[in-house]
Each structure stands twice: as structure tokens, then as C-alpha cells.
Amino acid sequence: MEAANFDLDRYCRRIGYRGPLAPDLTTLSALMRHQLFSVPFENLDVRAGKVVSLIPEEIVEKILDHRRGGYCYEVNGLFAMALRALGIHYQFVAARPMFYPVRRPRTHAAIVARLEGRDWLCDLGFGSHGIRAPIALDDLDREIEQDFDRFRLTRLDERGYLLQALVDQEWLNQYAFDLWPQEWIDFTPANYLNSTHPDTIFVQKLLVVLHHPTGRDTLLGDRLKREREGRITTETIEPNRLQSVLRELFQLEAAG
């Protein structure tokens, strides 16, 4: 994944990262967390009736120049550009969301990076219960603590993996994936579906998520949920407050 207008230094300024840059796990983890804490997961373009662009240069322009966020293809696509600039080998994987009451297609894009002889799941675009740091694919069947969240990775079969999150003291399936490599163009049909199909959450409701070191803020429709150190508060956002909430809580300088 590359874009003619991507610059690693500019990317680091956008996410507020000033540390060392090296093709190692320390850098991988630091960049993932800094991006999660500065680039929101958001579907403002879909809510504005647009089909999200998968053109790499337009993703860079949207997130770096216009200080927007995006959903999985955009935020993970941008992260992949940073990995490529660092010389970290990675592949895209297509994941099947597993929290719906009916079986869904593999519409989620995630990344598996290869570092220090191990494969690491990286994902900056799964919204509310997304991972907050890389998870090694051989770190199976145990509770993995990431800040105030808990995750578990297990095998479905000899090829497939299942990611779970501990929510209200219950392990809930998040998504399943295997290591069949995906080319960027392979996500075009799923992106169109997520941008246009009336059954998708992105078409139905506004969804904005920004992670913090001790929790996250989530705006779903007009309902704002703020989580800090396991404590949750909720409130309804009136239409006349929406722009200020997007700007002040989610660091979004434009709304569509």
C-alpha cells in the first residue's frame, strides 16, 4: 500500500508521534497507539451520501491534510502506508464480523505484520471493541490485557482465527479471519457495500469512535458514550451540539 503524497514525517506529526522510527515491535506498537488516540474511526462521508474513496492519495489527503478519520479501509490503509515506509512486511486480511445475529460477509479489513519472526494482528478500524495494540497470532487462548480492555485470540481451525473481547464479563466474538492475503483492490466490493447498503450500520447511523489511553468516546446516532477506566457515562447529543462535539471530543475539523 503506497501513495505518492504519503510522507512518514507528516504522518508522525498528524498522530503526535515524536519517538524513534525503526522496523521493530516497539515502533509498530507506538505508532498504532498514537494513531488510535488521534485519528477517529468515523463514517461522516457515508452519512453524507458518499462512497468512501479507496484511492490511496485521497485517503492521505483526507486524514493528513483535512484532519479527518475514516473507517477500516481508510485508517488501516493509512497505517499500512506507514509500515511500508518503515520497511515492515505486512499483508491485509479480510475479516468476517461475528457480532451480528446472522452470518455476514468478510467486509472488515485488518493487517497482519511480520516482525521478529512472529505474525502480529494490527487493527485500527474496528470501532468500539477494537484492539489497542498488536496481538501475536501465536498468543492463543488466554486473556490479553490492553489498558482497560481484555481480548482473546483463538483458532477456529487450522487456518482461521477468532478475535473475542470481554464485554460486561462475557466473551463476545468480534471477527474471524485467516491468512489468505488480500490485495487492496479486493476490498472494493465490501467498501461499496459498507458505503451504500441500507442494512449496514454505517448507512443507518452516525458512528464516531476515538480511543484514549484510559478508554474511548463513542458517538452512535445521537447517543454519546464516554468510557474512562471502566466507568461509563452516556448522554444524548442534540443536533445543535453535534458540530462542537465532533470538533472538541473527536478532533474532527470537518463534518463531511
Question: What is the pTM for the complete model shown?
Answer: 0.96
Catalytic residue (one of 123, 129, 211, 217): 123
CATH of the domain at 74: 3.30.2140.20
Q: Which structural domain range is residue 12 located in?
A: 8-250
Residue 189 lies in a domain: yes
Residue 3 lies in a domain: no
How, if at all, do strands 89-97 and 108-115 pair? antiparallel
Taking the C-alpha atoms of 56, 62, 63 and 66 in order, what is their torsion angle to the nearest 10 degrees? 150
d(CA 253, CA 246): 8
Provide the 8-state DSSP code for 3. -
Answer yes or no: 34 catalytic: no
List, for residues 70-109, the tens digit of each pLDDT value: 999 999 999 999 999 999 999 999 999 998 777 889 999 9
Q: Distance between CA atoms of 25 and 31, rounded to whole angstroms?
A: 10
pLDDT at position 158 over 90: no
Query: What strands lie across the sheet with 135-136, from one edge to the other?
Result: 135-136, 118-122, 108-115, 89-97, 170-178, 160-167, 149-155, 144-146
Set of cell numbers at residue 233 = 457515562
Active-site residue flag, 72: yes
The overall longest dimension of the chain from CA atoms, in Å, is 52
pLDDT tens figures, 101-153: 778 899 999 999 999 899 999 999 998 789 999 999 999 999 999 999 999 99
Amino acid occupying residue 219 = L
Helix (H, G, I), strand (E, B) or coil at 174: strand
Estimate to the nearest angstrom the gap between the alpha carbon of 17 and the chain centroid: 18
Distances (CA, A) of 111 to 120, 201, 225: 8, 22, 27
Count of structural domains, the chain: 1
How many angstroms separate the CA atoms of 196 and 203, rounded?
Answer: 6
Residue 253 has pLDDT above 80, yes or no: no
The overall average pLDDT reported for the chain is 95
DSSP 8-state class, residue 51: P
Range of weakest confidence among 94-108, 205-219, 233-247: 94-108
Q: Does the residue 1 lie in any domain?
A: no
Q: Which pLDDT band holds residue 254 (cuts at 50, 70, 90)?
A: low
Q: Which three cell numbers stand for residue 43?
A: 463514517
What is the predicted pLDDT for the residue at 103? 85
Q: Over pLDDT 70: what percentage of the chain?
A: 98
Per-residue model confidence (pLDDT) at position 55: 98
- Provide the 3-class DSSP secondary structure of residue 206: coil
* Domain assignment present for 157: yes
Specify if 42 maps to a domain: yes
Percent of the chain surpassing pLDDT 90? 91
Task: Quick: pLDDT tens for 176-196.
Answer: 999 999 999 999 999 999 999
72, 119, 211, 217: the catalytic one is: 72
Instruction: Please give the pLDDT value at position 159.
Output: 87
How far apart (Å, rounded) are the C-alpha atoms in residues 228 and 159? Answer: 36
The alpha-carbon radius of gyration of the chain (Å, integer) is 17
- The string of pLDDT tens digits covering residues 23-40 is 999 999 999 999 999 999
- The pLDDT of 165-170, averaged and rounded, is 93
CB 40 within 8 A of CB 208: yes
How far apart CA 22 and CA 149 sit, in angstroms, is 27
Give the H/E segment covering residue 231.
Answer: strand 231-236
Catalytic option among 34, 108, 129, 211: 108
Rounded Cα–Cα distance for residues 167 and 160 (Å):
23
> Domain for residue 255, yes or no?
no
Give the count of alpha carbons within 13 A of 92, CB side only. Answer: 23
